[in-house]
Amino acid sequence: MARRGKRKGRRINGWLILDKPAGMGSTSAVSKIKWLFNAEKAGHAGTLDPLASGMLPIALGDATKTVPFVMDGAKVYRFKVAWGEERATDDLEGPVTKSSDERPTEEAVRALLPNYTGIIMQTPPQFSAVKIDGERAYDLAREGETVEIAAREIEVGRLDLVSFTPDEAVFEIECGKGTYVRSIARDMGRDLGCYGHIAELRRTEVYPFLPDQLVELPALEEAGTEGDREAGDFAALDEYLLDIATALEGLPEVAVTDDAAARIRLGNPVIVRGRDAPVEAPEAWASARGRLVALGAVEAGMFKPKRVFAM
């Protein structure tokens, strides 16, 4: 008789907005949350370097289907640049590669900021996850190789100077997908003729999530002790989860009946009804009684599902 496979975890669905501590990698953070919640599946929306702290949205269960929408959202970082040294990793973790006794003036820094806003070209750091001929750039860099990484287009909504001293400056940036804040620090240091690297980095927002939704790891660890894991009691932890649809703010919502929801879950298109319903939308989500049914598109007044969600 065939043996029944062991369950790998709970089928729990939702978003957990972790305040990742500095010193912990994003993969380790996801593993920790997956274990705490005894979740069957988990993933994150946007890697944070181990040196960095702050918002790391973690998707559990079916929420992983909505990760791309969060990955594409705007992000806000607050970061400190130390002047006078350029480092191999463009942050504190790497050895010094260039140094200078020159220091910028506050006026020079402020005059530079417009060059780093709008749609600009940026070269990712040598120590980054960019693939070069199938290999990660950071793997090649750790082997001592210097590789040519092509510049790419990024979008910076704003870059503000928060505080300044001759040796360091604190900035806040709102930027789009693919932006490397370490590259911003490196390039500003070069433009100012003094070199620079990231000394502190914190991500404060990942659209559409808000700072007041952040949860610190100690609070989760404490909640994890309140229930009986063996008996499946995770109520104290589950209180911290946000609904999957929280990640879909900004997308058109199509409200459907229970009968239409059943057809959608079978992969069938349905007619979009209602005065405010979209006639065309390349991306939309269907809901029944306020619950997420499917992701899809609206074409010629029909909602066509692409990814469906369990009840």
List residues with catalytic annotation: 49
**Cβ contacts of residue 197 below 8 Å, gap of 6+?**
81, 82, 85, 86, 87, 89, 90, 91, 92, 94, 182, 185, 186, 189
Measured distance between the N- and C-terminal CA atoms of the chain, rounded to whole angstroms: 32
CA distance 43 to 311: 21
For the chain, the residue count is 311
Tokens 């946000």 locate to: 242
E strands of the chain, at which residues?
14-20, 42-44, 53-60, 75-83, 85-87, 96-99, 118-122, 131-132, 135-136, 152-164, 168-175, 196-206, 215-216, 253-255, 270-271, 281-288, 291-299, 302-308
CA distance 48 to 55: 8
CA distance 198 to 181: 8
CA distance 61 to 42: 6
Look at strands 152-164 and 118-122 and give their pairing: antiparallel
Q: Which two three-digit tokens encode residue 297?
A: 């598109």
Look at strands 85-87 and 96-99 and give their pairing: antiparallel
Residue 14 Cα distances to 37, 177, 243, angstroms: 11, 22, 5
The residues that bridge with 39 in the sheet, in sequence order, are 10
Nearest to 75 by CA among 274, 211, 183, 185: 211
Nearest to 238 by CA among 29, 61, 92, 86: 61
